[in-house]
Structure 1
Amino acid sequence: MTQFYLIRHGEPDWEINELYQLKGHGRDLVPLTDTGVRQVYEAAKDERLQAAEIIVSSPYTRALQTAAILSKELGLDIRIEFDLREWQPDLTFQYGSLERLTELGNDYDANHGVYPPGETKPWESKEMLSSRVEKVIDQYLGFQKVIITGHGMAIRTLIGEAAETPHASISEYTKTGSPLKSKLFSTVHH
Protein backbone atom coordinates (compact mmCIF):
# COMPACT_ATOMS: atom_id res chain seq x y z
CA MET A 1 0.00 0.00 0.00
CA THR A 2 1.31 3.44 -0.95
CA GLN A 3 0.31 6.67 0.74
CA PHE A 4 0.32 9.63 -1.62
CA TYR A 5 0.31 13.22 -0.40
CA LEU A 6 -1.17 15.27 -3.23
CA ILE A 7 -0.11 18.90 -2.84
CA ARG A 8 -1.57 21.59 -5.01
CA HIS A 9 0.97 24.22 -6.02
CA GLY A 10 1.13 27.51 -4.13
CA GLU A 11 -0.63 30.62 -5.42
CA PRO A 12 0.64 31.42 -8.96
CA ASP A 13 1.21 34.87 -10.41
CA TRP A 14 -1.55 34.74 -13.04
CA GLU A 15 -1.14 38.45 -13.84
CA ILE A 16 1.95 37.58 -15.91
CA ASN A 17 -0.32 35.76 -18.39
CA GLU A 18 -2.30 38.88 -19.14
CA LEU A 19 0.75 41.17 -19.11
CA TYR A 20 2.55 39.08 -21.75
CA GLN A 21 -0.62 37.78 -23.45
CA LEU A 22 0.60 34.21 -23.15
CA LYS A 23 -1.25 31.42 -24.99
CA GLY A 24 -1.64 27.67 -24.51
CA HIS A 25 1.17 26.08 -22.51
CA GLY A 26 2.86 29.48 -22.27
CA ARG A 27 0.21 30.29 -19.66
CA ASP A 28 1.68 27.54 -17.47
CA LEU A 29 5.10 29.19 -17.16
CA VAL A 30 4.15 31.59 -14.37
CA PRO A 31 5.98 31.32 -11.01
CA LEU A 32 4.47 31.49 -7.54
CA THR A 33 3.64 34.78 -5.87
CA ASP A 34 5.35 35.65 -2.59
CA THR A 35 2.18 34.44 -0.88
CA GLY A 36 2.40 31.17 -2.83
CA VAL A 37 6.00 30.66 -1.69
CA ARG A 38 4.97 31.22 1.95
CA GLN A 39 2.10 28.75 1.54
CA VAL A 40 4.49 26.03 0.40
CA TYR A 41 6.99 26.68 3.20
CA GLU A 42 4.10 26.32 5.64
CA ALA A 43 2.94 23.06 3.99
CA ALA A 44 6.49 21.66 4.27
CA LYS A 45 6.10 21.71 8.07
CA ASP A 46 3.22 19.23 7.94
CA GLU A 47 4.10 16.13 9.98
CA ARG A 48 2.69 13.78 7.33
CA LEU A 49 5.38 14.80 4.84
CA GLN A 50 8.33 14.05 7.11
CA ALA A 51 8.43 10.32 6.27
CA ALA A 52 8.02 10.75 2.50
CA GLU A 53 10.59 9.09 0.26
CA ILE A 54 10.32 11.08 -2.96
CA ILE A 55 8.61 14.07 -4.58
CA VAL A 56 6.97 13.62 -7.98
CA SER A 57 6.03 16.79 -9.82
CA SER A 58 4.09 18.15 -12.75
CA PRO A 59 6.38 19.85 -15.28
CA TYR A 60 4.60 23.21 -14.96
CA THR A 61 6.54 26.02 -13.31
CA ARG A 62 4.15 26.53 -10.38
CA ALA A 63 4.28 22.83 -9.46
CA LEU A 64 8.05 22.61 -10.00
CA GLN A 65 8.66 25.63 -7.79
CA THR A 66 6.44 24.03 -5.14
CA ALA A 67 8.41 20.76 -5.46
CA ALA A 68 11.73 22.61 -5.25
CA ILE A 69 10.78 24.28 -1.97
CA LEU A 70 9.56 20.97 -0.53
CA SER A 71 12.73 19.23 -1.76
CA LYS A 72 14.91 21.79 -0.02
CA GLU A 73 12.93 21.66 3.21
CA LEU A 74 12.51 17.86 3.33
CA GLY A 75 15.78 16.74 1.70
CA LEU A 76 14.05 14.69 -1.00
CA ASP A 77 14.75 14.09 -4.67
CA ILE A 78 12.29 15.27 -7.32
CA ARG A 79 11.04 13.28 -10.30
CA ILE A 80 9.24 15.17 -13.06
CA GLU A 81 6.33 13.44 -14.76
CA PHE A 82 4.86 15.08 -17.86
CA ASP A 83 1.52 13.34 -17.39
CA LEU A 84 0.97 15.07 -14.04
CA ARG A 85 0.34 18.31 -15.93
CA GLU A 86 -2.91 20.14 -15.27
CA TRP A 87 -6.18 19.45 -17.05
CA GLN A 88 -5.97 20.54 -20.69
CA PRO A 89 -8.73 23.12 -21.22
CA ASP A 90 -7.99 23.29 -24.94
CA LEU A 91 -6.37 20.28 -26.59
CA THR A 92 -5.30 22.53 -29.48
CA PHE A 93 -3.34 24.75 -27.03
CA GLN A 94 -4.76 27.86 -28.68
CA TYR A 95 -6.65 29.50 -25.83
CA GLY A 96 -5.13 32.81 -24.88
CA SER A 97 -7.24 34.58 -22.30
CA LEU A 98 -8.65 34.12 -18.85
CA GLU A 99 -12.11 34.57 -20.34
CA ARG A 100 -11.61 31.65 -22.75
CA LEU A 101 -10.17 29.48 -19.98
CA THR A 102 -13.19 30.28 -17.81
CA GLU A 103 -15.56 29.49 -20.70
CA LEU A 104 -13.88 26.10 -21.30
CA GLY A 105 -13.85 25.30 -17.58
CA ASN A 106 -17.53 26.18 -17.25
CA ASP A 107 -18.35 23.91 -20.21
CA TYR A 108 -16.34 21.09 -18.60
CA ASP A 109 -18.23 21.59 -15.30
CA ALA A 110 -21.62 21.81 -17.03
CA ASN A 111 -20.90 18.44 -18.68
CA HIS A 112 -19.32 16.93 -15.54
CA GLY A 113 -16.15 16.30 -17.54
CA VAL A 114 -17.90 13.95 -19.97
CA TYR A 115 -18.38 14.61 -23.67
CA PRO A 116 -22.10 14.59 -24.56
CA PRO A 117 -23.12 11.65 -26.80
CA GLY A 118 -21.94 12.24 -30.35
CA GLU A 119 -19.94 15.36 -29.45
CA THR A 120 -16.26 16.12 -29.10
CA LYS A 121 -15.22 19.06 -26.96
CA PRO A 122 -11.97 21.06 -27.13
CA TRP A 123 -11.16 20.17 -23.52
CA GLU A 124 -9.65 17.04 -22.00
CA SER A 125 -12.34 14.77 -20.56
CA LYS A 126 -12.39 13.64 -16.95
CA GLU A 127 -11.65 10.08 -18.10
CA MET A 128 -8.62 11.19 -20.11
CA LEU A 129 -7.24 13.22 -17.20
CA SER A 130 -7.85 10.50 -14.63
CA SER A 131 -6.28 7.84 -16.86
CA ARG A 132 -3.00 9.70 -17.42
CA VAL A 133 -2.64 10.68 -13.75
CA GLU A 134 -3.38 7.11 -12.58
CA LYS A 135 -0.69 5.74 -14.92
CA VAL A 136 1.86 8.00 -13.22
CA ILE A 137 0.64 7.05 -9.73
CA ASP A 138 0.99 3.36 -10.60
CA GLN A 139 4.71 3.84 -11.33
CA TYR A 140 5.32 4.80 -7.69
CA LEU A 141 3.54 1.92 -5.95
CA GLY A 142 6.93 0.53 -4.92
CA PHE A 143 7.26 3.36 -2.39
CA GLN A 144 5.45 3.69 0.92
CA LYS A 145 5.04 7.48 1.06
CA VAL A 146 5.13 9.76 -1.99
CA ILE A 147 4.57 13.51 -2.33
CA ILE A 148 3.01 14.62 -5.60
CA THR A 149 2.99 18.30 -6.48
CA GLY A 150 0.39 19.15 -9.03
CA HIS A 151 -2.80 20.94 -9.89
CA GLY A 152 -6.29 21.41 -8.54
CA MET A 153 -8.31 19.80 -11.32
CA ALA A 154 -5.99 16.77 -11.50
CA ILE A 155 -6.13 16.30 -7.72
CA ARG A 156 -9.92 16.73 -7.57
CA THR A 157 -10.40 14.23 -10.39
CA LEU A 158 -8.19 11.69 -8.65
CA ILE A 159 -9.77 11.93 -5.19
CA GLY A 160 -13.32 12.54 -6.39
CA GLU A 161 -13.77 15.99 -4.82
CA ALA A 162 -16.03 18.54 -6.46
CA ALA A 163 -14.88 21.54 -4.42
CA GLU A 164 -11.91 23.73 -5.30
CA THR A 165 -8.62 22.54 -3.81
CA PRO A 166 -6.85 25.38 -1.94
CA HIS A 167 -3.30 26.38 -2.91
CA ALA A 168 -0.59 24.37 -1.10
CA SER A 169 -3.22 22.10 0.48
CA ILE A 170 -2.45 18.44 1.12
CA SER A 171 -4.88 15.69 0.13
CA GLU A 172 -4.24 12.08 1.04
CA TYR A 173 -4.68 9.28 -1.47
CA THR A 174 -3.92 5.63 -0.78
CA LYS A 175 -3.50 3.00 -3.44
CA THR A 176 -2.60 -0.67 -3.37
CA GLY A 177 -1.18 -2.74 -6.16
CA SER A 178 2.05 -3.85 -7.72
CA PRO A 179 4.50 -1.30 -9.10
CA LEU A 180 5.10 -1.31 -12.81
CA LYS A 181 8.48 -2.71 -13.76
CA SER A 182 10.62 0.31 -14.46
CA LYS A 183 14.21 1.48 -14.41
CA LEU A 184 13.00 4.25 -12.10
CA PHE A 185 13.07 2.02 -9.04
CA SER A 186 16.66 0.91 -9.57
CA THR A 187 17.86 4.54 -9.56
CA VAL A 188 16.15 5.69 -6.38
CA HIS A 189 17.95 5.25 -3.07
CA HIS A 190 15.85 4.55 0.03
Structure 2
Amino acid sequence: MQKIVFMRHSKPDYSFVLERKYIGHGIDLAQLTEEGISIAEKASFDNRLDNSEIIISSPYTRALQTAAIISKNRQLGIKIELDLHEWMPDLSFQFKSIEEALIAEELCTKYKGVCPENSEMKFEDFENVFKRAKKALLRYSSYKKIIVVAHSIVICRFVPYPNIPYCGISEIDFDESYSCTEFDYC
Protein backbone atom coordinates (compact mmCIF):
# COMPACT_ATOMS: atom_id res chain seq x y z
CA MET A 1 0.00 0.00 0.00
CA GLN A 2 1.26 3.46 -0.91
CA LYS A 3 1.11 6.57 1.28
CA ILE A 4 -0.19 9.69 -0.49
CA VAL A 5 0.17 13.06 1.18
CA PHE A 6 -2.28 15.45 -0.45
CA MET A 7 -1.65 19.17 -0.17
CA ARG A 8 -4.01 21.80 -1.50
CA HIS A 9 -2.29 24.56 -3.47
CA SER A 10 -1.60 27.85 -1.71
CA LYS A 11 -3.50 31.15 -1.97
CA PRO A 12 -3.80 32.43 -5.58
CA ASP A 13 -3.96 35.99 -6.89
CA TYR A 14 -6.45 36.25 -9.75
CA SER A 15 -6.01 40.00 -10.28
CA PHE A 16 -3.43 39.64 -13.09
CA VAL A 17 -5.52 37.26 -15.18
CA LEU A 18 -8.77 39.14 -14.55
CA GLU A 19 -7.34 42.53 -15.55
CA ARG A 20 -6.17 40.91 -18.79
CA LYS A 21 -9.70 39.53 -19.29
CA TYR A 22 -8.55 35.93 -19.59
CA ILE A 23 -11.39 33.42 -19.86
CA GLY A 24 -11.75 29.67 -19.36
CA HIS A 25 -8.47 27.98 -18.53
CA GLY A 26 -6.72 31.35 -18.83
CA ILE A 27 -8.05 32.14 -15.37
CA ASP A 28 -6.07 29.17 -14.07
CA LEU A 29 -2.80 30.92 -14.91
CA ALA A 30 -3.12 32.85 -11.63
CA GLN A 31 0.04 32.86 -9.56
CA LEU A 32 0.29 32.82 -5.76
CA THR A 33 -0.07 35.92 -3.61
CA GLU A 34 2.86 36.93 -1.40
CA GLU A 35 0.88 35.50 1.51
CA GLY A 36 0.37 32.32 -0.51
CA ILE A 37 4.12 32.00 -1.04
CA SER A 38 4.66 32.40 2.70
CA ILE A 39 1.99 29.78 3.50
CA ALA A 40 3.61 27.32 1.06
CA GLU A 41 7.09 27.97 2.47
CA LYS A 42 5.88 27.15 5.98
CA ALA A 43 3.89 24.09 4.86
CA SER A 44 6.88 22.69 2.96
CA PHE A 45 8.55 21.93 6.29
CA ASP A 46 5.59 19.98 7.72
CA ASN A 47 6.90 16.65 9.06
CA ARG A 48 4.09 14.72 7.34
CA LEU A 49 6.04 15.32 4.11
CA ASP A 50 9.13 13.56 5.50
CA ASN A 51 10.34 10.52 3.54
CA SER A 52 8.35 11.45 0.44
CA GLU A 53 10.05 10.41 -2.77
CA ILE A 54 8.50 12.70 -5.37
CA ILE A 55 5.96 15.50 -5.85
CA ILE A 56 3.09 15.02 -8.28
CA SER A 57 1.36 18.27 -9.24
CA SER A 58 -1.66 19.56 -11.05
CA PRO A 59 -0.59 21.54 -14.13
CA TYR A 60 -2.31 24.74 -12.94
CA THR A 61 -0.01 27.60 -11.96
CA ARG A 62 -1.18 27.86 -8.34
CA ALA A 63 -0.45 24.16 -7.77
CA LEU A 64 2.84 24.17 -9.70
CA GLN A 65 4.15 27.19 -7.81
CA THR A 66 3.24 25.50 -4.52
CA ALA A 67 4.95 22.28 -5.68
CA ALA A 68 8.05 24.25 -6.75
CA ILE A 69 8.38 25.72 -3.25
CA ILE A 70 8.13 22.25 -1.69
CA SER A 71 10.60 20.90 -4.26
CA LYS A 72 13.12 23.64 -3.49
CA ASN A 73 12.91 23.12 0.28
CA ARG A 74 12.74 19.31 0.18
CA GLN A 75 15.08 18.66 -2.77
CA LEU A 76 12.42 16.53 -4.50
CA GLY A 77 11.62 16.20 -8.17
CA ILE A 78 8.24 17.22 -9.60
CA LYS A 79 6.09 15.35 -12.10
CA ILE A 80 3.17 17.16 -13.70
CA GLU A 81 -0.07 15.22 -14.11
CA LEU A 82 -2.65 16.74 -16.42
CA ASP A 83 -5.47 14.70 -14.88
CA LEU A 84 -4.94 16.23 -11.44
CA HIS A 85 -6.30 19.52 -12.75
CA GLU A 86 -9.12 21.38 -11.03
CA TRP A 87 -12.77 20.39 -11.40
CA MET A 88 -14.09 21.86 -14.65
CA PRO A 89 -16.98 24.29 -14.08
CA ASP A 90 -17.53 24.58 -17.83
CA LEU A 91 -16.78 21.70 -20.17
CA SER A 92 -16.75 24.13 -23.11
CA PHE A 93 -13.86 26.04 -21.44
CA GLN A 94 -15.54 29.35 -22.22
CA PHE A 95 -16.52 30.69 -18.78
CA LYS A 96 -15.64 34.35 -18.65
CA SER A 97 -15.47 35.10 -14.95
CA ILE A 98 -15.01 33.65 -11.53
CA GLU A 99 -18.68 34.51 -10.94
CA GLU A 100 -19.72 32.10 -13.72
CA ALA A 101 -17.55 29.40 -12.17
CA LEU A 102 -19.23 30.07 -8.81
CA ILE A 103 -22.67 29.64 -10.39
CA ALA A 104 -21.55 26.28 -11.78
CA GLU A 105 -20.23 25.42 -8.32
CA GLU A 106 -23.65 26.21 -6.80
CA LEU A 107 -25.35 23.98 -9.38
CA CYS A 108 -22.83 21.24 -8.71
CA THR A 109 -23.60 21.44 -5.00
CA LYS A 110 -27.35 21.46 -5.64
CA TYR A 111 -27.12 18.34 -7.81
CA LYS A 112 -24.57 16.57 -5.56
CA GLY A 113 -21.76 16.52 -8.11
CA VAL A 114 -23.80 15.21 -11.04
CA CYS A 115 -24.50 17.53 -13.98
CA PRO A 116 -28.14 17.18 -15.12
CA GLU A 117 -28.50 16.39 -18.82
CA ASN A 118 -30.74 19.43 -19.31
CA SER A 119 -28.42 21.87 -17.51
CA GLU A 120 -27.43 24.96 -19.51
CA MET A 121 -24.06 24.94 -17.74
CA LYS A 122 -22.22 21.69 -18.44
CA PHE A 123 -19.85 21.07 -15.54
CA GLU A 124 -17.70 18.03 -14.80
CA ASP A 125 -19.27 15.28 -12.69
CA PHE A 126 -17.45 14.47 -9.44
CA GLU A 127 -17.28 10.80 -10.44
CA ASN A 128 -15.18 11.81 -13.45
CA VAL A 129 -12.91 13.94 -11.23
CA PHE A 130 -12.21 10.87 -9.08
CA LYS A 131 -11.70 8.50 -12.02
CA ARG A 132 -9.22 10.71 -13.87
CA ALA A 133 -7.27 11.57 -10.70
CA LYS A 134 -7.13 7.94 -9.53
CA LYS A 135 -5.90 6.81 -12.94
CA ALA A 136 -3.16 9.46 -12.81
CA LEU A 137 -2.09 8.49 -9.28
CA LEU A 138 -1.91 4.78 -10.09
CA ARG A 139 0.95 5.59 -12.49
CA TYR A 140 3.08 6.32 -9.41
CA SER A 141 2.31 3.13 -7.48
CA SER A 142 5.99 2.10 -7.54
CA TYR A 143 6.72 4.86 -4.98
CA LYS A 144 6.18 4.20 -1.27
CA LYS A 145 5.26 7.80 -0.42
CA ILE A 146 4.36 10.72 -2.67
CA ILE A 147 3.22 14.31 -2.23
CA VAL A 148 0.29 15.32 -4.44
CA VAL A 149 -0.33 19.05 -4.88
CA ALA A 150 -3.82 19.57 -6.22
CA HIS A 151 -7.16 21.30 -5.67
CA SER A 152 -9.74 20.94 -2.91
CA ILE A 153 -12.42 19.35 -5.09
CA VAL A 154 -9.92 16.78 -6.39
CA ILE A 155 -8.57 16.05 -2.90
CA CYS A 156 -12.09 15.75 -1.45
CA ARG A 157 -12.77 12.84 -3.78
CA PHE A 158 -10.12 10.94 -1.78
CA VAL A 159 -10.43 12.33 1.76
CA PRO A 160 -13.64 13.19 3.63
CA TYR A 161 -12.58 16.65 4.80
CA PRO A 162 -14.58 19.59 3.50
CA ASN A 163 -13.13 23.12 3.54
CA ILE A 164 -9.47 22.24 3.08
CA PRO A 165 -7.37 25.35 3.81
CA TYR A 166 -4.60 26.58 1.53
CA CYS A 167 -1.68 24.14 1.87
CA GLY A 168 -3.88 21.90 4.03
CA ILE A 169 -2.47 18.37 4.27
CA SER A 170 -4.35 15.05 4.23
CA GLU A 171 -2.85 11.55 4.15
CA ILE A 172 -4.25 8.31 2.77
CA ASP A 173 -3.13 4.75 2.16
CA PHE A 174 -3.73 4.17 -1.54
CA ASP A 175 -3.94 1.33 -4.02
CA GLU A 176 -6.11 0.32 -6.99
CA SER A 177 -9.00 -0.67 -4.68
CA TYR A 178 -9.37 2.87 -3.28
CA SER A 179 -12.89 4.24 -3.71
CA CYS A 180 -14.30 7.75 -3.89
CA THR A 181 -15.43 9.48 -0.69
CA GLU A 182 -19.13 10.17 -0.39
CA PHE A 183 -19.07 13.84 0.60
CA ASP A 184 -21.55 15.84 -1.43
CA TYR A 185 -19.20 18.72 -2.03
CA CYS A 186 -15.92 20.21 -0.98
Same fold? TM cut 0.5: yes
Aligned residue in 2 for 1:165: 164
Deviates more, 1:47-56 or 1:120-129: 120-129
Change (3 A) 1:123 1:177: closer
Q: Secondary structure at the match of 2:12?
A: coil
Aligned residue in 1 for 2:105: 105
The 5 Å alignment of 1:11-160 reads: 11-116=11-116, 118-119=117-118, 122-160=122-160
Structure 1 runs, 4 residues or longer, greater than 4 Å off:
none
Change (3 A) 1:177 1:134: closer
Displacement of 1:173: 1.8
Identical positions, percent: 38
CA distance in 2, matches of 1:73, 1:92: 38
CA distance in 2, matches of 1:152, 1:63: 11
RMSD between aligned alpha carbons? 1.5
CA distance in 2, matches of 1:26, 1:166: 23
Q: TM-score, normalised by structure 2?
A: 0.90
Asked whether the 8 Å contact 2:115–2:122 carries over to 1, the reply is no
Asked whether the 8 Å contact 2:115–2:124 carries over to 1, the reply is no
CA distance in 1, matches of 2:175, 2:130: 17
Displacement of 1:115: 2.9
CA distance in 2, matches of 1:134, 1:177: 8
Q: Which amino acid aligns with 1:49?
A: L
Q: TM-score, normalised by structure 1?
A: 0.88
The one-character-per-residue Cα deviations of 1:39-92 (angstroms, maximum 9, x if unpaired) are 111111111112100000011111110111100100100000100100010010
More helix by share: 1
Q: Secondary structure at the match of 1:122?
A: coil
Count residues with an aligned counterpart: 176
Displacement of 1:16: 2.2
Q: Which amino acid aligns with 1:30?
A: A
The one-character-per-residue Cα deviations of 1:148-189 (angstroms, maximum 9, x if unpaired) are 11111111122233x2211011111211359xxxxxxxxxxx
**Alignment gaps of 5+ in structure 1:** 179-190
Q: Which amino acid aligns with 1:19?
A: E
**Alignment gaps of 5+ in structure 2:** 178-186
